[in-house]
Amino acid sequence: MIDRFDKSFAYSLPVNFIRPQLFNDCQICSVISKSNGEDPIGSAHPCDIWIMVEISLPWTEERLMTEPILRQLYQLFHDYYDADEQPFQMMPMVIAPDHNYSVPEYTRVLLFQRPAPFFAQFNKQEFLLPFEQLPHLMQTALTQPSNLKTFDCYKQPTSLTRDLFVCTHGNVDVACARFGTPVYFELRKYCGKTEGDGKFSLKSKIQNPKSFYSPPSSNSSTLRVWRCSHFGGHQFAPTLVDLPTGQVWGHLEMEMLDTLIQRHRPVTELRRFYRGWSGLPQYAQILEREVWMQQGWDWLAYNKLGHIMAQDTDHEKWDADWADVRLEFASPDGLVKGAYEARVEVTGSVLTVWNSGEKPEAVKQYSINQLICVA
């Protein structure tokens, strides 16, 4: 059986293409999901490595099957998934070239890797290389990641750059194109605005100089926004992933983008848009949101590790009625550390649609019970 993540992930670009279809609003998956109050939490795909490859539009099945280099990439990813065991969980995506970021005749590859089991954000490597070198780089990343140093001549000094990836992949589901595209253009437009234009500002002031967390830089060159292919959960469109921190967001609204980018208002304002942190398994994501809402923005800098201690065995792992979860944490300086434990349990269900045009299905909704700090 396909789990909650793979039900959407099975349609991501490296695995398959679906021809777009036109639907009325009442048939669009994200409209139904949001109207019925589906909570997106726990829907972020747990990930050890995010792989973003810059490929020009259009992203069509014909190109994937006929262009030699794209065909090689397709085969590389399928060979990885077809193997008996995969050494790590990955999320491969493509990103569209941007006239402000891209370099003619060169292709950009971004790798965001889990540095350790206990961590706060993904380690970033960015490469700008000739297109024909792309299969070699991907082969190395998938099979011999320790040898990526052989590509150091192509590395880019962007470790401090924050990247937002907005799904606009209408070939997978019309919801992503219809709702993701306006959000992408709004964010892309905001990147160039500065304080003093009377509208929007990326400039942020540090509210607490002793805080572990530093707000995003005011320099627009430290924030990039990309159009990307599907990464699961188009019923939560418009959806984006924020890297290197690894937070995934859904059901986005224009009014909340300011807070998402600047991180200057209470994080509780973003609760209903949060799909989860991709560094944790499904039920631990639900606990992590509860703790984050209590701790505030400083929580982003804390190292975290989640465990599922026990769970309902009468249902599929992804569809359990309950799970006992432990979330360990430590501040960057190691002076504050401990763990939270809680039971994540079903509180009801709502109807959702996995793909636009399909029939609605009931999906369980969860809440936190018995939350305690144990250390």
Contact 40, 251 (CB under 8 A): yes
Per-residue pLDDT band for 220 (boundaries 50, 70, 90) equals very low
Per-residue pLDDT band for 24 (boundaries 50, 70, 90) equals low
Instruction: Compare 189 and 251 and report the one with higher pLDDT.
Output: 251
**Domain residue ranges of the chain, discontinuous segments joined by +:** 1-280
Per-residue pLDDT band for 200 (boundaries 50, 70, 90) equals very low
Peptide bond connecting 20 to the previous residue in cis, omega within 30 degrees of 0: no
| Per-residue pLDDT, 203 | 32
Instruction: Compare 358 and 106 and report the one with higher pLDDT.
Output: 106
Residue in this structure with the two tokens 């509180």, named with its chain if needed: 347
Report the percentage of the chain scoring pLDDT > 70: 85
| Per-residue pLDDT, 196 | 35
Q: Is the pLDDT of residue 280 over 70?
A: yes
Predicted TM-score of the model (pTM): 0.87
Dist CA 70 CA 5 (whole Å): 25
Dist CA 51 CA 351 (whole Å): 32
| Per-residue pLDDT, 18 | 40
Per-residue pLDDT band for 14 (boundaries 50, 70, 90) equals very low
Per-residue pLDDT band for 227 (boundaries 50, 70, 90) equals very high
Contact 354, 8 (CB under 8 A): yes
Least confident of 80-84, 176-180, 238-242: 80-84
Dist CA 68 CA 64 (whole Å): 8
Q: What is the average per-residue pLDDT within 267-276?
A: 98
State the average pLDDT for the chain.
86
Residue in this structure with the two tokens 């039900």, named with its chain if needed: 7
How does DSSP classify residue 283?
H
Q: Is the pLDDT of residue 212 over 60?
A: no
φ and ψ of 329, to 5 deg? -150, 160
Dist CA 341 CA 234 (whole Å): 30
Which span out of 57-66, 192-201, 293-302 was modeled with the highest average pLDDT? 293-302
pLDDT in tens, 283-320: 999 999 999 999 999 999 999 999 999 999 999 999 99
Least confident of 40-49, 103-112, 195-204, 241-250: 195-204
Considering only CA atoms, which of 68, 166, 151, 167 is closest in space to residue 108?
Answer: 151
